[in-house]
Amino acid sequence: MTRILVVDDEESVCQMLSDILSDEGYRVETAADGREALAKLEDEHFDVALVDIRMPEMDGMQLLERIQAAGATLPVIMMTAYGTTDTAIQAMKLGAFDYVLKPFNLEELLITLRKAVEMERMAREVAALRKELAGDGPPAEIMVGRAPAMQELYKQIGRVAASNATVLILGESGTGKELVAGAIHHNSARKDGPFVKINCAALPENLLESELFGYEKGAFTGAVSRKLGKFEVAHGGTILLDEISEISPAVQAKLLRVLQEREFERVGGTKSIQVDVRILAATNRNLDELVREGLFREDLFFRLNVVTIRVPPLRERKEDIPLLVEHYLKTLRPSPGKEITGFSPEAMRLMMEYDWPGNVRELKNICERVMVMATGPVIVPEDLPYNLRPEGREMDAEGRWKNKTLKEIVADVERTVILRALKEHGGNRTRAAQALGINRRSLYAKLKEYGLD
């Protein structure tokens, strides 16, 4: 239940407001002056305070200053019979949410109170979301690598971080595009602001729109209260739109407006919301090709493609594999009671020979797996997954694909990967297409081509 603190030295005013607001469903406490109000605020939580300006002992202005100095987010509505005086104006300057005139206009008072309650709720929601996005767990992953391709990447990050330009981050799945985005944010002037990430491929169109832009109460069935979108939460900071290629035309149009004008409306709303947000976008697909196919807006592509950064795949920087392995051996936890000291030379050689189609993400997963499954402190070839071991590669190269043409081998691989994606996503073709980095139309064509439809 929403809790209201009424602070007024006139007992009749406190009683009247207590009766009125209790009838409206609020829980009301009263205080006769600022000192009593401070004592109650220290002991209890309130959602809004209604404070008279003129009171003995500690007046409303002094109370407001004490509340602001304590860093509280409590909305304070001042009550005064002198609404045009310098005192009322000064109260607004000091951070009062609003003021109402005595004698009260009941409808105006209730409207102002509802606005203050909503503002306090939204402030708590923003704080909670930002805490959730920041996380209280282990430190975020860092980029590891000394290869020339990584040195060039670090230079590019340093150059773009100092600006406020929109950045398009390109790279295969698992290369660490999110880490690049995080490095740009944490080295920018916005580093003290929120860094908000959203995977555009993980949500259907209607949910993605409400996640990005929020919605108003009653916008659709189940919208029982106003909800802030990720753009509002990211105000003053940076937002990463991962898998940007997967957004629908309707959401593309709304996103274009945010890029152009830095404003939008919540779903079901009419009020324009202004935001100060730096936009980073990431994709593993060729946006140029999607534009030519009519699947991605050209004007949005130009807006996103102000600065482009390409993250190199692991096969282009294999000299970094030992560094990455060492990093994961330090940061990943093996099974309780087990100590892993390193990889044998032969196991490391096999790691270096592998092409890593899943990039750094695949390397991390394999390190985590072998640390759990290893039988001794040193990881040997027998501890590695079958496809990294010589017998696994021999089967792939000489057994499964022996006497097959290149076209047949490619078809075999595609068919296997598609079947695995469908199995992993319970037969859901939309999610399987998203996981494969293709659109639904392309997936349906492949299913038909391979007789899997």
Same domain, 324 and 340: yes
Q: Which residues contact 217 (CB under 8 A, 6 or more apart)?
A: 223, 224, 225, 226
pLDDT at 138: 39
Question: Which has the closest alpha carbon to 393: 349, 350, 343, 347?
Answer: 350
CATH code, domain with 290: 3.40.50.300
In angstroms, the CA 113 to CA 381 distance is 69
pLDDT tens column, 86-99: 666 677 778 888 88
Q: Is the pLDDT of residue 398 over 70?
A: no
For the chain, what is the largest distance between any 2 Cα atoms, rounded to a whole number of angstroms?
A: 97
pLDDT band of 76, cuts 50, 70, 90: very high
Determine, yes or no, domain membership for 344: yes
Q: Do the Cβ atoms of 241 and 281 come closer than 8 Å?
A: yes
Cβ of 35: how many Cβ atoms within 10 Å?
15
Average of per-residue pLDDT across 389-404: 56
| pLDDT per residue as tens digits for the range 199-244 | 998 888 778 989 999 888 888 887 877 888 899 889 889 999 999 9
- Which two tokens mark 126? 């923003």
Same domain, yes or no, for 11 and 73? Answer: yes
Residue 135: per-residue pLDDT = 46
> In this structure, are 38 and 112 located in the same domain?
yes
> Could you tell me if 280 and 190 lie in one domain?
yes
Rounded Cα–Cα distance for residues 411 and 393 (Å) = 18
Rounded Cα distance between 8 and 50, Å, is: 8
Reduced 3-state DSSP string for the chain: CCEEEEECCCHHHHHHHHHHHHHCCCEEEEECCHHHHHHHHHHCCCCEEEEECCCCCCCHHHHHHHHHHCCCCCCEEEEECCCCCHHHHHHHHCCCCEEEECCCCHHHHHHHHHHHHHHHHHHHHHHHHHHHHHCCCCCCCCCCCCCHHHHHHHHHHHHHHCCCCCEEEECCCCCCHHHHHHHHHHCCCCCCCCEEEEEHHHCCHHHHHHHHHCECCCCCCCCCCCECCHHHHCCCCEEEEECHHHCCHHHHHHHHHHHHHCEEECECCCCEEECCCEEEEEECCCHHHHHHCCCCCHHHHHHHCCEEEECCCHHHCHHHHHHHHHHHHHHCCCCCCCCCCEECHHHHHHHHHCCCCCHHHHHHHHHHHHHHHCCCCEECHHHCCHHHCHHHHHHHHHHHCCCCCHHHHHHHHHHHHHHHHHHHCCCCHHHHHHHHCCCHHHHHHHHHHCCCC
Closest CA to 153 of 131, 138, 175, 173: 175
- Whether 181 has a pLDDT exceeding 50, the answer reads yes
Whether 277 and 341 share a structural domain: no
Residue corresponding to tokens 């494969």: 436
Q: Quick one: pLDDT band at residue 299, thresholds 50, 70, 90?
A: very high
Residue 295, domain member (yes or no): yes
Do 18 and 107 reside in the same domain of the chain? yes
191, 168: one domain: yes
In a domain, residue 128? The reply is: no
Amino acid at 370: V
Q: Which domain holds residue 168?
A: 148-310
- pLDDT value at position 219? 82
298 shares a domain with 195: yes
Structure confidence by residue, pLDDT tens digits, 406-448: 776 777 678 778 877 877 776 778 888 888 888 888 888 887 7
Q: Which pLDDT belongs to residue 216?
A: 87
The answer on pLDDT for 382 being more than 90 is no
Categorize the per-residue pLDDT at 136 as very low, low, confident or very high, splitting at 50, 70 and 90. very low
**Could you tell me if 242 and 328 lie in one domain?**
no
Are the beta carbons of 89 and 64 closer than 8 angstroms?
no
Q: Can you give the pLDDT at residue 51? A: 92
Write the CB contacts of 204 (distance below 8 Å, at least 6 apart in sequence): 430
- Rounded Cα distance between 352 and 32, Å, is 76
pLDDT surpassing 80 at residue 5 = yes
Query: For residue 133, is it within any domain?
Result: no
Q: Domain count of the chain?
A: 4
Residue pair 33/9 in contact (Cβ under 8 Å)? The answer is yes
Residue 139 lies in a domain: no
Residue 138 placed within a domain: no
Looking at per-residue confidence, does 42 or 398 come out higher? 42
131 belongs to a structural domain: no
CATH of residue 413: 1.10.10.60
pLDDT at position 289 over 80:
yes
Residue of 116, 38, 123 whose CA lies nearest to 78: 116
Q: Mark whether 286 and 346 lie in a shared domain.
A: no
For 325-371, what is each residue's pLDDT tens digit?
999 988 887 667 678 888 999 999 999 998 898 899 999 989 988 88
Q: Is a pLDDT exceeding 90 seen at residue 255?
A: yes
Asked if 375 and 344 sit in the same domain, the reply is yes
Residue 296 placed within a domain: yes
